[in-house]
Amino acid sequence: MDSTVAITGAHGFLGSAIRSTLDAEHHVTSLGRHPGDEPWQLSDNLPPDLDGTLALIHCAWAVAPRTSAVANMNIAGSLSLLDEARRHGIPFVFISSMSASDTTRSRYGRAKRAVERHVLTYEKGIVVRPGTIRDEAGGLGMLGASLGRLASLPVDAQIDPDPLVPLVSLERVVEESLKPVVAPADTPREIVLVDEWTPLSRLIASLAPDGTTKRVIRLPQALITTASTVAQYASVPPFRDLADSWLGLIDAAHAHRTD
């Protein structure tokens, strides 16, 4: 182990997989609040010291509550890390999202896009935009928990038209996120990762208990989107955060259809 790679969010769904792979060849410094971490959090005013670090992979992100204040904290904390990486002249890998765009209605997506714009002004800044990440067991991270709750309802809510969800394997996201570390000269500045676009109804059905019969309720997609927009901007918990996720999903699917 002759090099150190720093990573934020090393205890999350994606970050833990990246750290596990890195451990085989590198010394890893986890920046965070868990035992054994180098103390750091997004709300810190000062960035961590990256002396002797080969690269920084930034996975950490506060996902709730999805308010403007939390979005601004995420942006400020990320840019502080970027400035430190720039000062040391090391690659900065930013784990973004398919919902990040200039036109998305999602606060999460807009905040991710704000950071992306700064990362791409740095010659060693790399943006990774994965779709919904699926592990080998079929787990879908935070989305899986939300869909699991929907699948357990006594009714089958069918959305018309059925939105498409971008899926990508955890293994592929880990591999692509590490390219700036193992092969920096061959890494593109923006990496979009999608294996397939899958109907939302199919994902929900895959999580439903076997043999259950439910009453079908058809819901217009436009109605859900309008309600989500109201809930988000009215900042009504707990619907605000679910609404923000929905808007990010719908806007990403729309961008895919119009490409």
Domains of the chain as residue ranges with CATH: 4-253 (3.40.50.720)
Name the nearest CA neighbour of 126 among 164, 76, 177: 177
Q: What is the residue type of 201?
A: S
Question: How does pLDDT run across 119-128, given as a tens digit for each residue?
Answer: 999 999 999 9
pTM (2 d.p.): 0.92
Residue 72: both structure tokens together: 């601004």
Q: How far is CA 169 from CA 110, 139, 161, 166, in A?
A: 24, 10, 25, 10
Q: How far is Cα 217 from Cα 12, in angstroms, rounded to an integer?
A: 35
Question: How does pLDDT run across 82-135, given as a tens digit for each residue?
Answer: 999 999 999 999 999 999 999 999 999 999 999 999 999 999 999 999 999 999
